[in-house]
Chains A and B, each alone.
Chain A
Amino acid sequence: AQSVSQHNHHVILSEAASLELGCNYSYGGTVNLFWYVQYPGQHLQLLLKYFSGDPLVKGIKGFEAEFIKSKFSFNLRKPSVQWSDTAEYFCAVSSNTGKLIFGQGTTLQVKP
């Protein structure tokens, strides 16, 4: 069965620190990849997505992610985090049955 693994469950950073959140998936076929963000008390919102083309994808709010097919990875990065980036981040991969498979999420806490 397809699965998504997010290695970091809880990350604490100071403002201006660089961020990298890991995401690995298990499906070897063609996939679409997503990162969603959930701010405290809010719903999930799309940060960025990869369908094809340039494996380095840029999203909103300065986030980017790199698709590395050989490593089955789609890590999320941001060079300098802000306090307002405090949120939960979910990686997701498309399945071959029409649904998205979500990872367990990573809680990011940014200290001012």
Chain B
Amino acid sequence: DAGVIQSPRHEVTEMGQEVTLRCKPISGHNSLFWYRQTMMRGLELLIYFNNNVPIDDSGMPEDRFSAKMPNASFSTLKIQPSEPRDSAVYFCASSPYDGGAPDTQYFGPGTRLTVL
């Protein structure tokens, strides 16, 4: 199995631009999580989906952030417009969790976002 796949691995953009991060979860996993990691705030859960449905988006910072999961094999995290404080590493993780007790989450390699 290829594991969780994220693209791009690195993104450098200018303030005000739209940024789209992509994630392909492990096949058969029905939960998907988006995290943000910074030195100041550590690892933060932004949103998670179960069976393609957003379950908890309480960690999404503000309306500039949006996430979609149109099917079981693809999710996007969009920032529009981007700001320098959005610079971070964004991780996607997937899990076989299906409503019972949460199971192991498998993390992707991350996207390092720099907003100038």
Q: Could you list which residues of chain A lie within 8 angstroms of chain B, going by C-beta atoms?
A: 30, 32, 34, 36, 42-46, 49, 51, 90, 94-95, 97-100, 102, 104-105
The reply to whether the CB of B18 lies closer than 8 angstroms to some CB of chain A is no
**What is the distance, in angstroms, from B84's C-beta to the closest C-beta of chain A?**
22
Chain B residues with CB under 8 A of A95: 102
Q: Are A97 and B56 closer than 8 Å at their CB atoms?
A: yes
- With an 8 Å Cβ cutoff, the count of chain B residues facing the other chain is 23
Q: Are A104 and B42 closer than 8 Å at their CB atoms?
A: yes
B interface SS class: strand
Chain B residues with CB under 8 A of A34: 104
Interface stretch (choices B20-28, B74-82, B105-113): B105-113
Chain A residues with CB under 8 A of B93: 44
Q: Are B105 and A98 closer than 8 Å at their CB atoms?
A: no
Residue from A30, A90, A102 in contact with B101 in the complex, judged by beta carbons closer than 8 Å: A30
The CA of A45 and the CA of B4, in the complex, are separated in Å by 12
The reply to whether the CB of B50 lies closer than 8 angstroms to some CB of chain A is yes
**What is the distance, in angstroms, from A90's C-beta to the closest C-beta of chain B?**
7
**What is the distance, in angstroms, from B44's C-beta to the closest C-beta of chain A?**
9
Say whether, besides A43-B110, A105-B42, A32 and B56 are in contact (CB < 8 Å). Answer: no
Chain B residues with CB under 8 A of A90: 43
The CA of A12 and the CA of B33, in the complex, are separated in Å by 32
Within 8 A of A (CB), among B57-116: 91, 93, 97, 99, 101-110
Chain A residues with CB under 8 A of B101: 30, 32, 51, 94
Q: Are A44 and B107 closer than 8 Å at their CB atoms?
A: yes
The CA of A99 and the CA of B56, in the complex, are separated in Å by 9
Q: Are B102 and A100 closer than 8 Å at their CB atoms?
A: yes
